[in-house]
Amino acid sequence: MDLGIKGKKALICASSKGLGLGCARALAAEGVDLVMNARGVEALEASAAAIRDEFGVNVETVACDVSTADGQAALIAAAEGVDILVNNAGGPPPGMWTDWDRDDFIKALDANMLTPITLIKALVPAMMERGWGRVVNITSQSVKAPIPVLGLSNSARAGLTGYVAGTSRQVAGSGVTINNLLPGIHATDRAAALDAGVSKQQGISVDDAKVNRCKTIPAGRYGTAEEFGSTCAFLCSQHAGFIVGQNVLLDGGGVNSTM
């Protein structure tokens, strides 16, 4: 299927690795020019070079922390006129509900709620003026079913989800869609770090932690960044213009619910 977005331009935050990179690669495969971002220059430049070589699209890079005001200003300057925005940042650390103080919550809210909101506010008005735009926020399955050790993530992502629910309906009439993609467990560095945490906590090997986690997923495996990226590219396509304010779960059936 031709997604109809060849020649569009996209900003993909936190995209040198993992799910962000999966989205960048899937959009590049459709002929979309990219602005890619991550904190570390080396991995960012390597991923950008690989995409230029493989797909022949233009790729600009902005090495910065997307959760900081300076980082956001640099990204907004580089991304002026983008048609597509994919919001992403690293997730907050795990812990116990009694662990976190105000600063921990502010950090999580900054990275996983206020950063995407800042970028939406900066970049969506020009999309509305042009009558076309796509925003996809990478959130988490924790929006549908809380993950006890990820209370900071549960909280910050619920806040973003509420903002998107209202805002997406205010901009849809101008041809701009905003949706959220909710990853269940995917094989990335983040998943490896979560499995390492379980291994330490339960005194089992990392492999056993992964096998045990797979047993909780009806699909019996972790998702891949390629699958995730393809779904993101579809939500950014011409065909997805009637999908507004949705929370699309990619979790291999892990969240047990009827709807």
User: Token pair of 142, please?
Assistant: 């924790």
Measured CA distances, 151 to 104, 158, 159 (Å): 11, 11, 13
User: Candidates 38-46, 96-104, 158-166, 239-247 — which segment interacts with ligand NAD by CB under 6 A?
Assistant: 38-46
Cβ proximity to ligand NAD: between 16 and 177 the closer is 16
**Single residue of 52, 107, 144, 190 touching ligand NAD by CB under 6 A:** 190
Please tell me the distance from the alpha carbon of residue 249 to that of residue 81, in angstroms, as a whole number: 29
Q: Assess 26 for contact with ligand NAD (CB under 6 A).
A: no
Cβ proximity to ligand NAD: between 112 and 171 the closer is 112
**Single residue of 87, 186, 229, 252 touching ligand NAD by CB under 6 A:** 186
- Sheet with 176-183: strands ordered across: 59-63, 33-38, 9-12, 84-87, 133-138, 176-183, 247-250
Contact 168, 174 (CB under 8 A): no
Please tell me the distance from the alpha carbon of residue 206 to that of residue 222, in angstroms, as a whole number: 14
Residues 120-149 that bind ligand NAD (CB under 6 A): 138, 140-141
Cβ contacts of 231 within 8 Å, gap of 6 or more: 181, 248, 250
Q: At what angle do helices 189-202 and 206-215 cross, to 10 degrees?
A: 100
Residues 199-238 that bind ligand NAD (CB under 6 A): none
Q: Assess 249 for contact with ligand NAD (CB under 6 A).
A: no
* Residue 28 Cβ vs ligand NAD, minimum distance, rounded to whole Å: 15
Contact 135, 120 (CB under 8 A): yes
Q: Assess 191 for contact with ligand NAD (CB under 6 A).
A: yes
Residues 80-109 that bind ligand NAD (CB under 6 A): 88-91
Cβ proximity to ligand NAD: between 144 and 239 the closer is 144
Q: Assess 151 for contact with ligand NAD (CB under 6 A).
A: no
Q: Which spans of this chain sit near ligand NAD (rule: CB under 6 A)? A: 14-20, 37-40, 65-67, 88-91, 111, 138, 140-141, 183, 185-186, 188-191
